[in-house]
Amino acid sequence: MNVPDRSLEATLHKAPKADKDDPDHVAAPMPGKVSNVAVSKGQAVKEGERLLSIEAMKMETAVYSPRAAKVKDVLVKIGSSVSAGDLLVMLEG
């Protein structure tokens, strides 16, 4: 008789998706693994400043700030696996 171990089910983390209509949301442009995070919560960033890098199949893609703002929150860390459209960084101001 097989008894499922229900304690293992809660480990799957579903990443929030970025709202394309929200200018404060910075989304993952492609699936991959976060290889570098260059900003932290509360930091002021300029338009075009690198926020983080994503690596997939030996290629690295940088994600840049779409505008000058303050980093409200960083939702990923180095080693996080992301899908295209996942919310990575929230901006404010």
Which pLDDT tens digit goes with each residue over 16-75?
Answer: 999 999 999 999 999 999 999 999 999 999 999 999 999 999 899 999 999 999 999 999
- Whole-model pTM: value is 0.83
CB under 8 Å to 6, separation ≥6 — which residues? none
Helix (H, G, I), strand (E, B) or coil at 14: coil
Higher-confidence residue: 22 or 6?
22
Q: Which residue has the tokens 């992301």?
A: 82
How many angstroms separate the CA atoms of 47 and 24, rounded? 13
Asked whether the predicted pLDDT for residue 11 surpasses 60, the reply is no
Sign for the CA dihedral angle at 69, 72, 77, 82 comes to negative
Q: What is the pLDDT of residues 78-88, one digit of tens each?
A: 999 999 999 99
Please report, for residues 11, 43, 68, 74, the alpha-carbon distance to residue 34 in angstroms, rounded to integers and kept in the order given: 20, 19, 22, 12
- Is residue 93 predicted with pLDDT exceeding 60? yes
Residue 22 is predicted with a pLDDT of: 96
User: Which pLDDT belongs to residue 50?
Assistant: 98
